[in-house]
Amino acid sequence: MDLRPEFISLVLACAAVTALPRVLPLVLLARVTLPDWLRVWLGYVPLAVLSALLAMEVLMVGGRPALAGNPALPAILPALAVAAYTRSLIATVAAGLGAYWLLL
């Protein structure tokens, strides 16, 4: 197998582009004490991103809004209940998948 320099350069560039946005904030913010309000606000970012991704998957079927006859909508309710009660990601996923399979 022939490894051309262009290929190695491309792999290294992809690795740098992937690693820099993850490592740079950690390195820069490791020595900074963030204010409490900013730490609380940043704590909501993963929840907001996950909610946006989940809403698109649940409310849209085949790129079109689907509110009627969509088994994903009623399957959300047990998953939300389990999430609120247990705060366990595995239990939430299991409840959502189980409810979805039962409703198919």
Q: Say if 20 falls within a structural domain.
A: yes
Domains: count for the chain: 1
Q: How far is CA 1 from CA 4, 9, 21, 39, 61, in A?
A: 10, 17, 32, 49, 44
- Has this prediction a pTM greater than 0.85? no
Q: Say if 100 falls within a structural domain.
A: no
pLDDT tens, residue by residue, 22-57: 999 889 888 889 899 999 998 898 888 888 888 888
Q: What is the spatial distance between Cα 58 and Cα 74, in angstroms, rounded to a whole number?
A: 10
Question: What pLDDT was estimated at residue 62?
Answer: 79
Q: Mean per-residue pLDDT for 56-83?
A: 84
Q: Say if 3 falls within a structural domain.
A: yes
Q: What is the spatial distance between Cα 71 and Cα 73, in angstroms, rounded to a whole number?
A: 6
Map tokens 């649940």 to a residue. Answer: 58
Alpha helices per DSSP H over the chain: 5-29, 36-43, 45-59, 72-86, 89-103
Domain of 5? Answer: 1-32
Q: Say if 5 falls within a structural domain.
A: yes
Question: What pLDDT was estimated at residue 1?
Answer: 63
Q: Say if 51 falls within a structural domain.
A: no
